Amino acid sequence: MRATRRHAYTLTKGAADLLVLNEIIGQAGDPDISRRLHELDHLGKIEYITFSKEDALRHRVRVVTDHGTECAVVLRRSARIVDGAVLLLDDDRAIVTRLSERNWLSLVPRDIAAALELGYQAGNNHWTVRFDGPVMRIAVEGPERNYLDRLAAFFSDRRVTRIDDGR
Amino acid sequence: MTDTYPGAARVGIGGPVGSGKTALIEQIVPRVIKRGIEVGVITNDLVTQEDAQRLKRSGLIDPERVIAVETGACPHTAIREDPSLNIHEANVLEDTFENLDLILIESGGDNLASTFSLALVDYWLFVIDVAGGDDIPRKRGPGVVLSDLLVINKTDLAPYVGADVDLMVREAKAVRGEKPLYLTNCRTGEGVDAVLEQVLHDALVARSPK
């Protein structure tokens, strides 16, 4: 296990007015925390930070809560932001994370040949995919147009069809 | 503002072969040292330690603070699909040099599809150059589109290679939205101060008490 160092540090650039959040106190579902959050919720004193699945991997990031509080999230490497992570909890306020749903591009290839080619294309682009029976889902990171343009040839001759099955 | 030390900020620098990644690091390192920021560098090369040796010989930084990673295969694998080797070396740097504030991780020269895993870095830059062609931004490579900060380097060469820098900027903004981009000439250092300010701001680089 790596050594734990604990000493003071100073954020260097324009961080004087930021609220520093440097630990995950627990999960919103933990019994004790849940009880306190319930009380704060009645007072409108829970603030949420929404992260994308990708940004949740970061350990240092500037964010703004839904109440407009500017925060510096500076976590140790061992920490991991998940949905419902509590970053601040005191008598006056709680700050809790939410993870936004990932946008998936759902595609159905016309036949085995199209499926093979689509799989090659996804792998060649290092796209994150998941398989759901006959549907291949591509995780959209950044503008969706970038994916659609690269798949244009598949759509134009109907080798691949995009579906919206609510997933 | 003080609080518990969380380890060094980890900043990735990626981009095509010859775009100026090492040159940018050579410009950044003396600037951060001058500010009292403790820095270490990890370089990734395919089968050599060329970039690490260049930095070690530069006299800009204690050679012990430079670690070379030989990826042996596709350079992007070591910064994205399986960044464990780079994570390990970053941990080694932190353990060796207490109070390290910033670790710069340079990828091996790659193509426009290269991106960093956010499990490895907190923030990452992508460096392209005008001599690579002024159509690079509109090709919408993931490195150009997804990086936190885009650097367009070698602006001084634009008239000699027929590159339209204004076009590159317009098209880069079109594919990147509001995310920052800067023009640099890393041979002279022009534009590097602005890059550094943005990195220190966005990556929340902290300075430890010495």
Chain A partners of B205 at a C-beta cutoff of 8 Å?
Answer: 11-13
Q: Are residues A131 and A63 in the same domain?
A: no
Instruction: Tell whether the model's pLDDT for residue B2 goes beyond 60.
Output: no
Our CA angle for A100, A102, A106, nearest 5°, is 150
CATH 3.40.50.300 for domain B9-202: yes
Same domain, A47 and A84: yes
Residues A72 and A114 in one domain: no
Q: Are residues A86 and A127 in the same domain?
A: no
For position A39, which CATH number holds?
Answer: 2.60.260.20
**DSSP track, A31-47:** HHHHHHHHHHHHTT-EE
Residue A117 and residue A147 in one domain: yes
CATH code for position A134: 3.30.70
Q: Do B208 and A7 touch (CB under 8 A)?
A: yes
Residues of chain A found within 8 Å of residue B6, distances taken between Cβ atoms: 9, 22, 59-60, 74-77
Among A99, A118, A141, give the residue marking a domain's end. Answer: A99
A60-84 pLDDT, tens digit each: 999 999 999 999 999 988 899 999 9
Which residues of chain A approach chain B closer than 8 Å at the C-beta? 2-3, 5-16, 18, 20, 22-23, 54-55, 57-62, 72, 74-77, 125-126, 141-143, 146, 149
| Closest-approach residue (CA) in chain A for B90 | A77
- Residue A32 falls within a domain, yes or no? yes
A10 or A94: which leads in pLDDT: A94
0.95 surpassed by complex ipTM: no
In which band, very low, low, confident or very high, does the pLDDT at A10 lie, cut at 50, 70 and 90? low
Q: Please count the structural domains in chain A.
A: 2
User: Is residue B7 annotated as involved in ligand binding?
Assistant: no
CB B135 within 8 A of CB B163: no
| Residues of chain A neighbouring B146 (CB-CB closer than 8 A) | 141-142
- The token pair that represents A48 in the structure block: 């949420």
A114 and A52 in a common domain: no
In a shared domain, residues A118 and A81: no
Residue A81's domain comprises 19-99
Q: So where are chain B's domains?
A: 9-202
**Inside any domain, residue A7:** no
Do A42 and A80 belong to one domain? yes
User: How many angstroms separate the CA atoms of B208 and B206, rounded?
Assistant: 6
Residues of chain B numbered 13-32 and touching chain A (CB < 8 Å): none
Q: Which of A2, A6, A59 sits opposite B95 (nearest CB)?
A: A2
| Residues A112 and A93 placed together within one structural domain of the fold | no
Query: With an 8 Å Cβ cutoff, are A60 and B140 in contact?
Result: no
Of A51, A6, A38, nearest in space to B209 by CA: A6
CA dist A101 and A80 (Å) reads 17
Are residues A56 and A28 part of one domain?
yes
Confidence of residue A135 (pLDDT cuts 50, 70, 90): very high
| CA dist., res. A39 & res. A48, Å (int) | 16
Domain shared by A78 and A109, yes or no:
no
**Cβ neighbours of residue B32 under 8 Å, at least 6 residues apart?**
B39, B101, B102, B196
Task: Please give the mean pLDDT across all residues of chain B.
Answer: 89
Contact A54 B118 (CB under 8 A): yes
